[in-house]
């Protein structure tokens, strides 16, 4: 199965972390792989394919319109261009040449508390980010007074992990509506729950951007802009396969077909059963790890990126030499490499979401072995002092 990696001397990794690009995103389920394989067997008019897939995805996701992109970051890039120009060919042309009027609306209002590495995709599209509030607090009035004639859009980054200190989506969207300024939502990692595919756009966002290679389990280089027709059409006019600014963010016919199959697969999937599976694994991990010398383990909720999935937080007692980072490194260097997230100085997260059948056992055995090998790992703080 992993011959392609083993031939290169590269060991496959068990992903108990999350859908990380550096680990290859996610693993595509069989219907997605089948669709890609079928798409690879014939030439096709890519404009026609992209349009047909987008129409179908729009219907499936209860949105007016959709655009397939080469990732959520590419979606942010195209959304930032669409917000600057609208669907007007003259404005698009001016934007490309940086001609007169190209910079008329280039300001994008973002909350300081939500700044993150992906907002660079907006900057790449020539956006000037206007930051409001601070990392602790954002006032509605600050957003209101940041809006002016040069404002192209307000950008909201969704997820409980980006919510602290920021206005909620409802509050932010209300300000946009009041000022007549479109609101774009980066919801790249906000699946599950599947309702998010229509929640933001039904609640007033002009568009929401999703990653195809995260929760949707589509091809790594795929993503979606979902939203109002006029806006999505404006984004499309900048996008591949047109020879415009979005041309470097290219997709293959295989990814386009694969993303549709992923959306279909995702919408049919039993989310409650998936949560139950994760709860079972989490329960088993906690029982197996809690109380090992120097270790406590408990269920953590919500999970990665604030999504409604459980995970385990494994904490090392104080006084030991082992840190969360050294435990993570040891797991990655072990016989069956397991990638996990660090959760502060002395803890790691174990996430069951992306495991293949049977891997939950491998993960817990690896963690137990690494903990045994690296022991002794301290004692509870109170004991250490006496
Ligand atoms: C992952 C992520 C992106 C980028 O998604 P890609 O599909 O990998 O381009 C953008 N924004 C946020 C908040 C993300 O978590």
Query: Which of the four pLDDT bands, split at 50, 70 and 90, describes residue 100?
Result: confident
Helix or strand (DSSP H, E) at 229: helix 229-238
Mean pLDDT taken over the chain: 94
- 113: pLDDT strictly greater than 90: yes
116 Cα nearest atom in ligand 1: 13
Nearest Cα to Cα of residue 165 among 114, 208, 118: 114
Dist CA 332 CA 302 (whole Å):
25
pTM of the model: 0.94
- 352: pLDDT strictly greater than 80: yes
Nearest 5°: the CA angle 201, 207, 208 is: 80
Dist CA 229 CA 234 (whole Å):
8
- 379: pLDDT strictly greater than 80: no
Query: Which of the four pLDDT bands, split at 50, 70 and 90, describes residue 42?
Result: very high
Paired tokens of 25: 């995103």
pLDDT in tens, 64-86: 999 999 999 999 999 999 999 99
pLDDT in tens, 136-163: 999 999 999 999 999 999 999 999 999 9
Nearest 5°: the CA angle 314, 318, 322 is: 65
What is the CA 131 to chain-centroid distance, rounded? 22
pLDDT in tens, 282-323: 999 999 999 998 899 999 999 988 899 999 999 998 888 789
Q: Kindly report the protein residue whose alpha carbon is nearest to atom 13 of ligand 1.
A: 188
Dist CA 73 CA 291 (whole Å):
42
- Grouping H, G, I as helix, E, B as strand and the rest as coil, residue 258 is helix
**Percentage with pLDDT > 90 across the chain:** 90
For residue 221, the model assigns a pLDDT of 96
CB within 6 Å of ligand 1 — which residues?
Answer: 21, 71-73, 116, 118, 157, 186, 188-189, 211, 213, 223
- Grouping H, G, I as helix, E, B as strand and the rest as coil, residue 314 is strand
Q: How far is the CA of 118 from the centre of ligand 1 (A)?
A: 6
């Amino acid at each position: 199965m992993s011959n392609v990696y083993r031939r290169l001397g590269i060991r496959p990794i068990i992903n108990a972390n999350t859908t990380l690009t550096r680990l290859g995103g996610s693993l595509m389920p069989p219907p997605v792989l089948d669709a890609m394989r079928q798409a690879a067997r014939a030439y096709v008019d890519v404009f026609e394919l992209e349009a047909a897939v987008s129409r179908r995805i729009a219907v499936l996701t209860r949105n007016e319109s959709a655009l397939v992109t080469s990732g959520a970051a590419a979606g942010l890039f195209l959304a930032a261009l669409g917000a600057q120009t609208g669907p007007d060919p003259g404005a698009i042309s001016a934007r490309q040449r940086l001609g007169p009027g190209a910079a008329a609306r280039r300001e994008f209002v973002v909350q300081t508390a939500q700044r993150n590495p992906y907002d660079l995709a907006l900057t790449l599209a020539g956006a000037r980010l206007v930051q409001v509030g601070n990392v602790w607090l954002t006032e509605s009035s600050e957003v209101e007074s940041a809006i002016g004639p040069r404002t192209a859009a307000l950008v909201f980054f969704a997820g409980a992990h980006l919510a602290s200190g920021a206005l909620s989506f409802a509050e932010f969207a209300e300000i946009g509506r009041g000022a007549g300024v479109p609101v774009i939502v980066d919801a790249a990692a906000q699946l599950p729950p599947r309702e998010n595919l229509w929640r933001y756009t039904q609640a007033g966002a002009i568009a929401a951007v999703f990653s195809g290679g995260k929760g949707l389990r589509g091809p790594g280089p795929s993503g979606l802009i979902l939203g109002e027709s006029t806006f999505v059409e404006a984004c499309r006019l900048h996008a591949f396969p047109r020879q415009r600014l979005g041309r470097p963010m290219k997709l293959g016919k295989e990814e386009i077909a694969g993303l549709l199959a992923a959306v279909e697969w995702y919408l049919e999937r039993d989310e409650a059963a998936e949560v139950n599976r994760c709860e079972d694994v989490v329960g088993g991990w906690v029982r197996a790890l809690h109380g090992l010398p120097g270790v406590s383990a408990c269920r953590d909720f919500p999970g990665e990126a604030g999504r409604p999935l459980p995970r385990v937080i494994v904490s090392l007692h104080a006084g030991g030499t082992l840190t969360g980072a050294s435990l993570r490194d040891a797991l990655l260097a072990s016989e069956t490499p397991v990638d996990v997230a660090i959760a502060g100085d002395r803890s790691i997260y174990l996430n069951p979401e992306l495991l293949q059948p049977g891997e939950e056992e491998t993960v817990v055995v690896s963690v137990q072995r690494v903990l045994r090998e690296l022991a002794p790992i301290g004692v509870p703080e109170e004991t250490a002092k006496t």
